[in-house]
Amino acid sequence: MVEVKTYALNNTIYFDSLLEIPRCLIMPSKRKAKIIIEVMYKADYCLPCFYMDEMVQSVLPKYADRVEYRRVDFLKGGGKERFLELSQLLFGEEGVYKHCRLAPVPSLWINGELFFDAIPPQFELEEALDEVLDEHGGIEKKKG
């Protein structure tokens, strides 16, 4: 194994061997990670949950690969744990386990922060997503 020392100057990386390679070919992309949308979802028979899920699904194509959507089915498997985690973010461990305070259902979370506790109009959801995307690197929304 050969040890090679590197240094950077003017967005170019130089190796001891004097091989010049542009930084963009070596350095990982600085593009921010996807934002995560989560909807607390009870079941299909819960109409507010169903319609909030439908609202999110309707705007997802405009945000393509910049948004990851997770429906948290808290009556099933791992959804229970995530529901309790988000409830604790709102009310603390004591609030959840001592006072039985839980996250609203349905509710919409973006990157672990409660944004809506009722079904938002489409324009409000898009404004919220645009705001969060701008905070995370100014990623532009797809036209559509």
Predicted confidence (pLDDT) per residue in 44-85, tens digit = 999 999 999 999 999 999 998 899 999 999 998 889 999 999
Picking from 37, 30, 109, 112, the residue whose alpha carbon sits closest to that of residue 67 is: 37
Picking from 85, 144, 135, 92, the residue whose alpha carbon sits closest to that of residue 109 is: 85
Q: Please compute the mean of the pLDDT values over residues 103-108 and round it to a whole number.
A: 95
Instruction: Give pLDDT, residue 53.
Output: 96
Domain assignment of residue 70, yes or no: yes
Instruction: Give pLDDT, residue 128.
Output: 95
Average pLDDT, the chain: 81
Structural domains counted in the chain: 2
Residues 82 and 117 in one domain: yes
Predicted confidence (pLDDT) per residue in 27-42, tens digit = 444 455 789 999 999 9
Does the pLDDT at position 6 exceed 50?
A: no
Does the pLDDT at position 101 exceed 90?
A: yes
Which CATH number is 130's domain given? Answer: 3.40.30.10
Domain carrying residue 54: 35-135
Domain assignment of residue 78, yes or no: yes
Which of the two residues, 88 and 19, has the higher pLDDT score?
88
Residues 122 and 54 in one domain: yes
Cα–Cα dist 72/79, whole Å: 5
Domain assignment of residue 45, yes or no: yes
Model confidence pTM above 0.85: no
